[in-house]
A and B are shown apart, each in its own frame.
Chain A
């Protein structure tokens, strides 16, 4: 027996992820820019308003929407529970079908694998399908640094790339740009574009079609992400709208797919759930225009050289949290962004990460940590929410984002030393746990009447309350608390009168429907 050694040591926590998972300033400061940008606010307000209405229409028309959400949530949770066996099964199936599977511990490793494969294919450029995973790893920057040119082919990603901008939305990365801005970006960035190009969205899309067609037909290597990877069959799925995904997945000789390990689902049948949940939640369509499903290599059809890179980059760190891991169930639909009152007003850049919005606020700190340095910007993300709960209602896989935010706030305060806030919270709790002290403190709060104006209203307050008082008046505390009223002669009399009203009403036949029923 070796029990004298005590419990076995717990296994080590995985390292956090690297790459585009951390901004350079805390959310409130980063949000300041977006909040002050009226154009951005208008663009976002219009776009999110449109998509919210569409989503409600198409989710409302399915009588089994809640059952689909329950199934989607359970499938993802089941997959997380069985991740090792499912990933090994996926690897085996892809390999059997002629693909090559690679594993990447972090962003840098994934980027190096991609660059090596591109070189091995004899190419110095790649076409790219919009992919959150490669945005997260900073693949484009890495490829450029080693002399490989990446061409983003999703319209919004193209806009972002041409403008040397950053994506601000999971689904619509250029949601912060309006048609006039996009027209200018194309005029400046697309070689040989028609100088008379106007701002009609169809014309802008046509300009992108002309520009990219030659790239699709001539580039030998493509890089994609994956929405789902089916362990049972080795099938990968890319869900898209424009056809750029089909182009990249079909025309090149070599296809490199970078997939987060949390994207694996157990069964092919599970697609029947996600192909209903995802399009209706993300674009508000019954089905997105194109979905590609492929399994390894098919002779005579599509790339004959296929590589799947399975990416950790902090996912296993998130997985080690029984509560927080629910964020890994995310299928990147972006419904939570579209319904979030905070996102709608600040835009996605304020979150500083590849993953903005409510899901970003819970996913980013778990992938990349909250304590990389003092005042880590990621530690501000769990607080970037009023906990209104709209995101939970909209989530197709029922991630309880508000509860995860509260959980992460708790983890943050636990890992942070003593702060003025913590002292204040302790002091407040110490008072409130003792009714006698509490009553005394209530009397002291009557001091608020001293600083109130003659109208009984408190106007401007000093920091840290000035953020509140800059745009809100506060009524002065009343002379009497409820508890003192309740035991006062006045309170006793008022309640006695109310009871008498009830007695009178029941005697005379009653005027409330409660009595009508008896």
Chain B
């Protein structure tokens, strides 16, 4: 029944026997374990997010609701989706419709939302990347994908300097999405166009004291 499996594994063993090569030790001389001060991480993260056409709003944690409310109003958002575990206080200054997402909500309903508001797990300053891992404040992957505007709240304390530092904070068993700017394509004459299938607008609220 597993003949393909045994055949392929057998072929691999034969190949390695035909052409044995010495064992390899992986040199990891690249930068790891970097720690940058808050202001430098904020500046770098912001610069990289803007470079990839994300919109960035740094604020203190106490002003989260105010900034979230302003951003949603500014974009004319009237109906948002949120994960079940989102901090409800963040929406205190938003007066539109809020639909709480769940596993049984059909995807077509997500398509009817103006925006989605989520938290995030980790950030990477050097690449302007946000990591979502499906924790309660972030929800399932479809939620942050289908709506056309994604407002993502990032705590500066979770923003690491580089990729190795950020990857080290991930939980491998969780479905993880790395987001660096809004969706984009360079498929036409290698000219970058922001906005294809994922959210065409990415707004990042960075809480500098959280």
State whether these chains interact: yes
Q: Give chain A's interface residues, CB within 8 Å of chain B.
A: 10-14, 43, 46-47, 50-51, 63-64, 67-68, 70-71, 74-75, 77-78, 80-81, 83-84, 87-88, 97, 102-105, 109, 153-156, 159, 172-175, 178-179, 182, 201-202, 204-206, 208-209, 212-213, 216-217, 230, 232-233, 235, 241-244, 246-247, 249-251, 261, 268-269, 271-273, 275-276, 283, 285-295, 298-302, 310, 312, 316-317, 319-322, 325
- The smallest beta-carbon distance between B50 and chain A, in angstroms, is 12
B177–A246 CB distance below 8 A: yes
Using Cβ atoms and an 8 Å threshold, which residues of chain B touch A202?
Answer: 193, 195
Residue pairs across A and B with Cβ atoms less than 8 A apart, 24 shown, are A64-B29, A67-B28, A156-B185, A172-B186, A174-B187, A201-B191, A205-B188, A205-B195, A205-B196, A244-B196, A247-B197, A250-B145, A268-B172, A272-B163, A273-B30, A276-B30, A289-B179, A291-B177, A293-B170, A300-B103, A301-B134, A302-B142, A316-B15, A320-B19
- The smallest beta-carbon distance between B61 and chain A, in angstroms, is 26
B140–A300 CB distance below 8 A: yes
B183 at the interface (CB under 8 A from A): yes
Using Cβ atoms and an 8 Å threshold, which residues of chain B touch A216?
Answer: 197
Complex Cα spacing A199 to B154, Å: 37
B187–A159 CB distance below 8 A: yes
B11 at the interface (CB under 8 A from A): yes
A290–B24 CB distance below 8 A: no
Using Cβ atoms and an 8 Å threshold, which residues of chain B touch A232?
Answer: 172
Give the contacting residue for B180; candidates A70, A80, A87, A286; CB below 8 A.
Answer: A286
**Binary A-proximity of B1-45 (CB < 8 A = 1, otherwise 0):** 010110111011111111111011111111110000000000000
B184 at the interface (CB under 8 A from A): yes
B164 at the interface (CB under 8 A from A): yes
CB interface residues, B 164-182, toward A, < 8 Å? 164, 167-168, 170, 172-182
Give the contacting residue for B197; candidates A78, A109, A153; CB below 8 A.
Answer: A153
B48 at the interface (CB under 8 A from A): yes
B189 at the interface (CB under 8 A from A): yes
- The smallest beta-carbon distance between A288 and chain B, in angstroms, is 7
A179–B8 CB distance below 8 A: no
- The smallest beta-carbon distance between A326 and chain B, in angstroms, is 10
CB interface residues, B 184-210, toward A, < 8 Å? 184-191, 193, 195-199
Give the contacting residue for A178; candidates B48, B107, B189; CB below 8 A.
Answer: B189
B111 at the interface (CB under 8 A from A): yes
Using Cβ atoms and an 8 Å threshold, which residues of chain A touch B179?
Answer: 289-290
- The smallest beta-carbon distance between A387 and chain B, in angstroms, is 24
- The smallest beta-carbon distance between B63 and chain A, in angstroms, is 28
Give the contacting residue for A64; candidates B2, B12, B26, B31; CB below 8 A.
Answer: B31
With known contacts A81-B24, A290-B183, A64–B8 Cβ distance under 8 A: no
B196–A288 CB distance below 8 A: no
B127 at the interface (CB under 8 A from A): yes
A316–B167 CB distance below 8 A: no
Using Cβ atoms and an 8 Å threshold, which residues of chain A touch B126?
Answer: 286
With known contacts A235-B172, A271-B167, A276-B163, A105–B21 Cβ distance under 8 A: no
Closest to B190 in A: A47
- The smallest beta-carbon distance between A516 and chain B, in angstroms, is 39
With known contacts A84-B9, A217-B108, A246–B141 Cβ distance under 8 A: yes
B14–A75 CB distance below 8 A: no
Number of interface residues of B (CB under 8 A): 76
With known contacts A209-B196, A233-B172, A269-B168, A78–B26 Cβ distance under 8 A: yes
B118 at the interface (CB under 8 A from A): no
Using Cβ atoms and an 8 Å threshold, which residues of chain A touch B145?
Answer: 243, 246-247, 250-251
B188–A71 CB distance below 8 A: no
Complex Cα spacing A189 to B199, Å: 25
- The smallest beta-carbon distance between A397 and chain B, in angstroms, is 12
B30–A289 CB distance below 8 A: no
Complex Cα spacing A80 to B22, Å: 11
| Interface hub of B30, B179, B183, B184 (most chain A Cβ within 10 A) | B30
**Binary A-proximity of B97-110 (CB < 8 A = 1, otherwise 0):** 00000010001100
A14–B15 CB distance below 8 A: yes
Q: Give chain B's interface residues, CB within 8 Å of chain A.
A: 2, 4-5, 7-9, 11-21, 23-32, 48, 51-52, 103, 107-108, 111, 124, 126-129, 134, 140-142, 145-146, 163-164, 167-168, 170, 172-191, 193, 195-199
B188–A204 CB distance below 8 A: yes
A312–B8 CB distance below 8 A: yes
B27–A243 CB distance below 8 A: no
With known contacts A74-B25, A202-B195, A212-B197, A179–B19 Cβ distance under 8 A: no
Complex Cα spacing A102 to B3, Å: 11
Complex Cα spacing A182 to B124, Å: 36
Using Cβ atoms and an 8 Å threshold, which residues of chain B touch A103?
Answer: 2, 4-5, 7-8
Give the contacting residue for A294; candidates B13, B167, B175, B189; CB below 8 A.
Answer: B175
Give the contacting residue for A302; candidates B9, B141, B188, B189; CB below 8 A.
Answer: B141
A sample of 18 more A-B contacts (CB under 8 A), given A235-B172, A272-B168, A294-B175, is A63-B31, A67-B28, A67-B30, A105-B8, A159-B187, A201-B191, A242-B196, A242-B197, A244-B196, A250-B140, A288-B180, A289-B181, A290-B178, A292-B177, A295-B174, A300-B103, A302-B140, A321-B19
Complex Cα spacing A321 to B20, Å: 9
B15–A250 CB distance below 8 A: no
Complex Cα spacing A46 to B189, Å: 8
Give the contacting residue for B30; candidates A71, A235, A250; CB below 8 A.
Answer: A71
B26–A75 CB distance below 8 A: yes
With known contacts A11-B18, A179-B188, A289-B180, A295–B172 Cβ distance under 8 A: yes
Closest to B54 in A: A289
- The smallest beta-carbon distance between B168 and chain A, in angstroms, is 7
B184–A241 CB distance below 8 A: yes
B189–A47 CB distance below 8 A: yes
Give the contacting residue for A104; candidates B4, B167, B170, B180; CB below 8 A.
Answer: B4
Using Cβ atoms and an 8 Å threshold, which residues of chain B touch A233?
Answer: 172-173
A241–B163 CB distance below 8 A: no
A293–B175 CB distance below 8 A: yes
Give the contacting residue for A243; candidates B7, B21, B189, B196; CB below 8 A.
Answer: B196
Closest to B176 in A: A293
Complex Cα spacing A302 to B177, Å: 12
A286–B127 CB distance below 8 A: yes
Using Cβ atoms and an 8 Å threshold, which residues of chain A touch B187?
Answer: 154-156, 159, 172-174, 205, 242
With known contacts A14-B15, A51-B190, A67-B30, A310–B197 Cβ distance under 8 A: no
Using Cβ atoms and an 8 Å threshold, which residues of chain B touch A299?
Answer: 103
Complex Cα spacing A50 to B189, Å: 9
